[in-house]
Structure formats: structure tokens, C-alpha cells
Amino acid sequence: MSPKVFIAVSLAAATIALTWIAIGSIGSNLVYYWTPTELQAAEDAGNATVRLGGMVKTGTIDWNKDTGVLNFVVHDGTSEVPVRATEMPPQMFRENIGVVVEGKLDADGVFISNRLLVKHDNEYRAPHDPKEVDVQKLWESLDAGEQ
């Protein structure tokens, strides 16, 4: 076999092997992004790990600091999905903020999240009025973080 043929066959085999590995691994690692309406309409929603995106509904945040469980409702204006998160929420987490939670829908229709992200812009805006900053609370929060 000539060197040119050997190199061509080797490159073809390597290309086929890499393509097979890439395509075969993608299916098990896909995470789908759904809205509450799409999640409720899906028949096999409990079988897939998905990212649920929407807004935190006003009046639904219930965080038990002792157990570390955070319950709230995500909505998209049409449908709502109750969410149970087991991680500490980001500091910016609040009502009426866009969130993306990653996890699975359980048999009771509650979305069990193991990852919680909030949507925000990257621009820092200083308070308009310096009196809006409660310096005492700021120092207390810094002292609490050192313990």
C-alpha cells in the first residue's frame, strides 16, 4: 500500500470515528430550554433534564433557610410551574425577575431544580440618592460573611 493511500485511509477512519463519538455523545448530554407552557404540554417532560425559563411570580417565594429549600412559581404569562430549588438563590433573586432553572419535572408536577440562574444586564448603576444605601446593613452583611 502506498503512503498516500495509507494516509487517506487513516484520515477517513479517524474522521468517521470522531463523527461517531460526537454524534453518539450529544444525545445524552442535551439540555432543552422550555417555557412553562411548553413544559406542561410535553408528554415526556419528566424524562428529560430541561432548562425552564420564565418570570418569578409575585407572592410565591418561600425560602426555608433551615432546610435550604426554596419554593416559588415560574410563569410565562400563560402557564405556571411550581419550582423547588435546593441551592441557595443568587443575591439578585426576587419576584418579577427572569429566571432559568435546570432540573426535572417530578410526578406531582413540581419542577425540581438543581441549578438556578437569574437574568440581569451587565451594567452597574450606582444609587441615584446616596441616602438609599443603608451603610449599617452593608457593614452587617460584610461582618456576617466573615464568620
| Residues facing 111 on adjacent strands | 83, 105
Strand partners, 115: 102
Residue with grid cell 425552564, as numbered in its chain: 52
Cross-strand partners of 74: 56, 81
Residue type, 144: A
The whole-number pLDDT of residue 57 equals: 93
Judge whether 117 and 101 are in contact, CB under 8 Å.
yes
> Vertex 25, ends 19 and 27: CA angle to 5°?
110
Q: What is the pTM of this model?
A: 0.63
Predicted local confidence at residue 132, as pLDDT: 61
Q: What is the amino acid identity at position 106?
A: D
Query: Which of 1-5, 42-46, 60-64, 124-128 ranks highest by mean pLDDT?
Result: 60-64
4, containing H or E segment: helix 3-29
Instruction: State residue 146's pLDDT score.
Output: 47
pLDDT tens for 89-147 read 888 888 888 899 998 888 888 999 988 888 766 666 665 665 565 666 666 666 554 44
